[in-house]
């Protein structure tokens, strides 16, 4: 899925029915042992509810149970990623 995909304009959060933001995977993440960790897949983010929904094999997983609540720190980091 890419940012120009027309599907993004009609996808909505299953909980508040609002728009979602496409998040591209981080290039490389480091875990606590400073080892490179695999980058997560793309995901869709609802900044109003601080919930992230995975995109698996190009298919958005938009069931309420598929969403992951993110911490306040992660929310701030994601907002910075979406504003650039």
Q: Are strands 36-37 and 29-30 parallel, antiparallel or unpaired?
A: antiparallel
- pLDDT number for residue 28: 47
- pLDDT number for residue 27: 53
* C-alpha angle 60-4-40 in degrees, rounded to nearest 5: 45
The string of pLDDT tens digits covering residues 11-70 is 999 999 999 999 988 654 445 555 554 546 899 999 999 999 999 998 999 999 999 999
As a whole number of angstroms, the longest Cα–Cα distance in the chain is 41
- pLDDT number for residue 34: 53
pLDDT higher than 90, residue 84: no
Question: What's the pTM value of the predicted model, to 2 decimals?
Answer: 0.79
Confidence label for 83 from pLDDT (cuts 50, 70 and 90): confident
Q: How many residues does the chain have?
A: 84
- pLDDT number for residue 59: 93
């Amino acid at each position: 899925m890419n940012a120009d995909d027309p599907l993004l304009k009609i996808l909505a959060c299953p909980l508040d029915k609002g728009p979602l933001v496409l998040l591209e995977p981080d290039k490389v993440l480091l875990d606590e042992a400073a080892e490179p960790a695999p980058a997560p897949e793309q995901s869709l983010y609802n900044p109003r509810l601080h919930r992230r929904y995975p995109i698996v094999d190009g298919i958005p997983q938009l069931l309420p149970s598929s969403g992951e609540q993110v911490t306040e720190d992660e929310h701030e980091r994601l907002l910075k990623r979406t504003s650039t």
